[in-house]
Amino acid sequence: MAYRYHEKEGDDEKMKKWLWCMILLVLLLYGCAQTNILERIGLTTLIGYDVGKEKKMQTTAVIREVNPEFQSKVDVITTEDNTSKGNRMEVNRRVSKKVMIGQMRVILFGEALAEEGLHYYIDASLENASVNNGVYTAIVKDQVAPLLEYDYQNIEDIGQHIYRLLEQNIQQEYMISSMLHEVGRDYYAVGRDMAMPIIEKEEELIKLSGIALFKDGKMVSTLPPPDSFYVKVIRDTFKSGIYETTLQSEDLPSILQKKTDDTMTVAFDAIRSKRTMTLVDAKNPEFDLTIKLKARVLEVSPSFDQSHRKSVEALEKAIQHKLTKELARVIAHSQKVESDVFGFGEEYRSHVRHAELTKEKWHSLYKNMKVNIHVDFVILRNGVFE
């Protein structure tokens, strides 16, 4: 309201109208949006799916609740119903607070369920806007429910614990990454299959016990944890990850051997790895797989003189050899179970025009695929004491 400089007549009237409108709205819309006040909801931090005994699915939810009496508590509730939403309702009937899944961090699947196929569960999770695409997925050996329901002595919040366990191992690149997004991507990709870590209960602890290989959303095989290094090396480029191997005496060059039947244990820490896949032959798929690894030797036993160039080179050679062998073994295993967790199929699809590739077609091709593995292993340095 400039005292004389009002260009438009009735500006004040308009302002008045405005104010009224806003006030009216505020009054009218009181309580319009549904609130989810943090401490009044039960936060599901982890959810596990199993095959149901009577109904289609059994879910076990780890719910964190905050109560004024005891600061916070963790409930593990197992229910059975036909849909995940139905299960949520079932859970709601058992807890005092509204159960929400927006803070979910981990989704676990029972082994039996995984063997039946996870398609439905992956779709349902991707579809739900409240579910973060960054949640971790994993397979539980046997059933999820017993693993979660067990009263661990040293684990207070099982949901948090499993999340930290997976997060820590995946971020350190000891384990293959299995975020929901990655799982969904691999599931819907033509030339790639999902892979997830497996966890199992070991008395009072929970441990990572391997990698589950999938074919078309169905779990078909497993690999032991040490093999996760090989799977990771072939799956993608990465930056760290400790690897330990025992070189058999036949692989060892004589320069490193003191006695002829000596084995040598080497632990190294891959600083950088780069893999390149090239399709050599499209008809009967044949790939050249080149892996360049730069590493830092952490431990060698028995120790040898690392200041000698020759012996270091010999060690590099030996490791190369060993790696090639192991990689070939892992690939062969995955071929046997027709699970392309490495993404050879994507490479094939992206380089063969009009391949009209489908998952089925690729799986039949994959079985007979040939891979030539070249490993280029370089020891950059060792520790500070030679």
Partner 1 sequence: MKIPPKEMFNAHLLFFVMHGAQIGVGVQGFQRIIYQDAHQDAWISVLLAGIATHIVTFFMIRTLEMYGSNDLYGIHQDIFGRWIGNVFNVIYVLYCFIAFFSVLRNYIEVIQAWIFPNIGEWFLASTLLLIIIYAFTAGLRVMVGVSFFSVILSLWLVLMLGFPLKFASVNNLLPILETDFRSILKGAHSMTFTIIGFEILMVIYPFVQDKKQVSKYAHLSLLATTTIYVAVMVVSLMYYSGGEIQRTVWATLTLFSFISFPFIERFEFIVVCFWMLIIIPNLCLYAWAAYRGTIRLINISSTKFIWLFALLIFLGTLVVQTRFQINGMDTKLSRAAFYIVFLYPILLWLIVIMRKKVMMKK
Partner 2 sequence: MIFKRLLDKQQSSPPMEAPPTNVEPIANTAQLFIQAIQAATHYPDDLIVKSLSPTLTLLYINHLVDNQTLNDHIIAPLQVNTTTTPEAVIDTLSVADIQHGSILAEAIDALVHGAALIHVAGYSKVIFASIITRETRALSTPENESQVIGTQVGFNESLATNISLIRRYIISPDLCHKKITIGRRTHTAVSLIYIHGIASEQMVNTVQQRLTDLRIDALIDSAVLAEMIDDNSLSVFPQMLLTERPDRFCDGLLDGKVGIVVDGSSMAVICPQSFSEFFQSQEDQNLRWPIATFVRLLRLAAFFLSVYLTPFYVAALTFHYEVIPQAFIVPLSESRALVPFPPIFEALLLEIIIELLREAGARLPTKIGQTIGIVGGIVIGTAAVQAGITSNILLIIIALSALASFTSPSYMMGNVVRLIRFPIILLAGYWGFYGIMLAFCFLLIHLLRQSSLGAPYLSPFYPPRFKDMRDSIIRMPIPLTAKRPTFTRPTDEYKFNPDEPIKPKKS
Q: Which residues bind partner 1 (CB under 8 A)?
A: 14, 18, 21-22, 25, 29, 32-34, 102, 123, 126, 129, 132-134, 179, 181-182, 184-190, 192, 343, 346-347, 349-354
For the chain, give the number of residues.
Answer: 386
Which lies closer to partner 1 via its Cβ, residue 6 or residue 329? 6
Task: State the alpha helices, DSSP H only, in 238-299.
Answer: none
Total residues at the site for partner 2 (CB under 8 A)? 35
Which lies closer to partner 1 via its Cβ, residue 136 or residue 377? 136
Stretch that binds partner 2, among 1-9, 223-231, 250-258, 308-316 (CB under 8 A): 1-9
Among 21, 24, 39, 301, binds partner 2 (CB under 8 A): 39
Among 83, 92, 103, 290, binds partner 2 (CB under 8 A): 103
Which lies closer to partner 1 via its Cβ, residue 2 or residue 32? 32
190 binds, among partner 2, partner 1, none (CB under 5 to 8 A by kind): partner 1
384 binds, among partner 2, partner 1, none (CB under 5 to 8 A by kind): none
What's the angle, vertex CA 172, arms to CA 169 and CA 177, rounded to 5?
Answer: 60
| Chain-centroid distance, C-alpha 79 | 26
**DSSP-based helix, strand, coil % in the chain, nearest 5:** 35, 30, 35
Residue 310 interacts with partner 2 (CB under 8 A)?
A: no
Which lies closer to partner 2 via its Cβ, residue 41 or residue 315? 41
Report the nearest approach of partner 1 to the CB of residue 36 (Å). 10
Residue 384 interacts with partner 2 (CB under 8 A)?
A: no
271 binds, among partner 2, partner 1, none (CB under 5 to 8 A by kind): none
Token pair for 196: 């997830």
Per DSSP, the three-state class of 259 is coil
CA–CA distance from 251 to each of 184, 247, 290 (Å)?
A: 40, 6, 21
User: Inter-axis angle of helices 344-351 and 359-367, to 10 degrees?
Assistant: 110
Binding mask 150-189 for partner 2 (x = CB under 8 A): ----------x--x--------------------------
Write down the residue that tokens 């040898």 correspond to: 304
Any residues with CB less than 8 A from the CB of 199 and at least 6 apart, and which?
108, 138, 139, 140, 141, 147, 162, 165, 166, 206, 207, 208, 209
192 binds, among partner 1, partner 2, none (CB under 5 to 8 A by kind): partner 1
Q: Which of residues 359-378 bind partner 2 (CB under 8 A)?
A: none
Secondary structure (DSSP) of 289-354: EEEEEEEEEEEEES---TT-HHHHHHHHHHHHHHHHHHHHHHHHHHHHTT--TT-HHHHHHHHSTT
User: Inter-axis angle of helices 309-336 and 228-235, to 10 degrees?
Assistant: 90
The widest CA-to-CA distance across the chain, in whole angstroms, is: 105
Report the nearest approach of partner 1 to the CB of residue 166 (Å). 15
Binding residues for partner 2 (CB under 8 A): 1-5, 12, 15-16, 26, 29-33, 35-39, 41, 43, 64, 66-68, 71-72, 100, 102-103, 105, 130, 132, 160, 163
